[in-house]
Amino acid sequence: MRANYETGLATSNDISAIVAMQEPNLHENGGGLSVRQTADWFRRTMLEMPIVVARRDGVVVGYALATSIAAKSHVGIVQTMLRAFPAPPTCYLYGPVCVAESERGNGVAGMMYHASARLDGDVIRTIRQYALAQGESKNGQKRTRRIHT
């Protein structure tokens, strides 16, 4: 039996749950997230672009971000990517996506992607086009799907 999830926009009340979910999913803790973000960073980001969350029984079990390049300009891996693949000024970065370990395999990341597309189809199309134009590796895509879905 498949769990019932709801997706929607994160509120400031969700930030503590998002930050808590981030910690065990950081690379240094065996997860796939490469950068720790602070609660203040999530608050600022939320003012710029919506954060999509997935909830099960009212509890946040996943989040997906789309951010401006400026919001991630402090992140080394993003700086390296942009040196190699300069982005157009209207480009947004998609990710990270984080799903609680207990909820993986239930399609939560896909639900958040679809919710994001409903919120702003143009932004999501821009993100996907940029990612495809930059030649995402198939291995990277598979690993991301395995970690986050």
Q: For residue range 97-115, list pLDDT tens digits in order.
A: 999 999 999 999 999 988 8
104: domain range? Answer: 6-148
In a domain, 66, yes or no: yes
In a domain, 130, yes or no: yes
- Return the minimum-mean-pLDDT range out of 40-44, 46-50, 82-86, 137-141: 137-141
Residue 142, pLDDT score: 43
Domains in the chain, number? 1
The b-or-e profile of 41-69 (16+ CB within 10 A means b, else e) is bbeebbeebbbbbbbbeeebbbbbbbbeb
In a domain, 1, yes or no: no
CATH code assigned at 129:
3.40.630.30
Taking residues 48-53, what's their average pLDDT? 88
In a domain, 70, yes or no: yes
The Cα angle at residue 36 between residues 87 and 115, in degrees rounded to 5 = 60
